[in-house]
Amino acid sequence: MANEYIASLSNRIFIKSEVDSPTLNNMAEAQIAPITAFELSSNRKQLYRRDKTGFRSESPVMGPQRELIEFNLDSYGTGWAGGSSKPSISPILESGLCKSAELSSSFAVQSSAGTSISLQADAVLSIGMGLSFGSEIRFIESISGPRDFTINAAFSVQLDSGSQLDGCANLSLGESVNPMSILDSWAPSQAIQRFVTGAVTDVLKVNINNDFLEISAKGYARNLYDNVSGIGGSEFQFPDAPSNFSALENSPIAGHLGQAFIGVPAASLCTLTQAELRIDNNIEPRTDEFGCFSTKAFVLGRRRVSLDLTIFERNDALSQALYAKAVNNEPVPVMLQIGNQPGSMFAIYLPSVLFPVPAFSDAQPRLLWQFRNAIAMGLQNDEVFIALR
């Protein structure tokens, strides 16, 4: 029926990585993402004539103007069920970490002792690779051979000979932009459909201990198309939304389930109340170059990886050791796992974090420590690793 309002729940958002699928206006390989909010704006640099006409009226210049396209999106965090397909949220994470996800296979264990593991056959291993066993994820901390390595913390269950370590969808930091395409598909068909290409994430956040694991991305895009204005030209064909998809295929991970490890040796942190991982790429859009109306490219600046933690203090050795490390400005490793079921697990590993001296908050019955802007250290893109299973 004509002359109706468009309901804000009448859209589906599909995303794909332009590195994995470089054909820009083909969204057949895109997946529907568990996005809860999507904001898109085109900030035009409007020009005005300043010549003296004898009147006070402003005279804006018509026609194409330089513009900067910005986006904000919020999404649920999901796991990975295995197989050859990447998780549906993979393009968001890849854009924020500037590197494509790698899917690892399973490995058979020969023997294990604490954090040391030996495999039955040679394998391609890398520092920061995530491996799962049952309801737990661990990360490779060091490698001594094609079969031998240590993990950041021991599994809660002893690995016997023949035990199977499942692979994960692994993400690490990179050195080049990893753009994605976003199709904002609305119903009915008469509504304005929007299509964004060359979207890169400037700031990526992962929020822990809410109702669900939440991921937010803020960044820029090169091009914004629609199905009405013809801005792409006569040769541009607006992409169709994929027809073979399931809106509820990926279950959100509960933000309050999981486990946390901190320190050397890794000790279980049971009093975590809130955590936020932030990756700031300091992207500079190239919008002011001669002869170009839209953003020509993006330049990556110095990356900053930071962590906010809020915990309850306890009268135990872990609290004392963490406070001493913060006062002495000494780094400690941190691992956070969200979710406790295979297919719905998301883990973060920061090998070296400099914690500030915590702020004490006595507003609640129990004393809270608030660590703000703890800095993740790194040398060669090794500040943070993420694994999904």
- Cα 355 to Cα 309: distance, rounded to the nearest angstrom: 9
Burial class (CB in 10 A: 0-12, 13-18, 19+), 143: middle
Partners of residue 268 on adjacent β-strands? 261
Q: Which residue has the higher pLDDT, 312 or 209?
A: 312
- pLDDT tens per residue, range 86-104: 999 999 999 999 999 999 9
Q: What's the pLDDT at 127?
A: 96
**pLDDT average, residue stretch 122-141:** 96
Q: Rounded to the nearest 5 degrees, what angle is found at the Cα of 307, between the Cα atoms of 301 and 313?
A: 165
Cis peptide bond N-terminal to 22, omega within 30:
no
What is the Cα gyration radius of the chain?
A: 24
- pLDDT over 90 (residue 137): yes
Partners of residue 337 on adjacent β-strands? 259, 347
- pLDDT over 70 (residue 140): yes
% pLDDT > 90, the chain = 67
- pLDDT tens per residue, range 30-85: 999 899 999 999 887 777 888 888 888 888 888 777 788 999 999 999 999 888 89
- Cα 205 to Cα 203: distance, rounded to the nearest angstrom: 7
- Cα 328 to Cα 316: distance, rounded to the nearest angstrom: 19
**pLDDT average, residue stretch 156-175:** 95
**pLDDT average, residue stretch 139-152:** 96
In terms of Cα–Cα distance, which of 256, 257, 356 is closest to 309? Answer: 356
Q: How confident is the model at residue 188 (pLDDT cuts 50, 70, 90)?
A: confident
- Cα 221 to Cα 63: distance, rounded to the nearest angstrom: 21
In terms of Cα–Cα distance, which of 314, 282, 321 is closest to 298? Answer: 282
Q: What's the pLDDT at 229?
A: 84
**pLDDT average, residue stretch 207-220:** 92
Q: What's the pLDDT at 195?
A: 95
Q: Which residue has the higher pLDDT, 385 or 42?
A: 385
- 22 contacts 179 by C-beta, under 8 angstroms: no
Q: Could you give the C-alpha distances from 237 to 37, 74, 196, in angstroms and in order?
A: 26, 28, 13
- Cα 4 to Cα 18: distance, rounded to the nearest angstrom: 35
**pTM beyond cutoff 0.85:** yes
- pLDDT over 80 (residue 318): yes
- pLDDT tens per residue, range 221-278: 999 999 888 887 777 888 988 887 766 667 899 988 899 999 878 888 888 999 999 9
Can you read off the two tokens belonging to residue 263? 């320190």
- 197 contacts 24 by C-beta, under 8 angstroms: yes
In terms of Cα–Cα distance, which of 206, 211, 215, 325 is closest to 262? Answer: 325
Partners of residue 131 on adjacent β-strands? 138, 167
**pLDDT average, residue stretch 11-20:** 93
Mean model confidence pLDDT for the chain: 91
Residues 6+ apart with CB under 8 A from 330: 354
**pLDDT average, residue stretch 167-184:** 96
**pLDDT average, residue stretch 324-335:** 95
Q: What is the DSSP string of 174-186?
A: -SS---EEEEEEE
Q: How confident is the model at residue 2 (pLDDT cuts 50, 70, 90)?
A: low
Domains in the chain: ranges and CATH:
11-41+66-100+173-241+249-388 (no CATH), 105-167 (2.40.10)
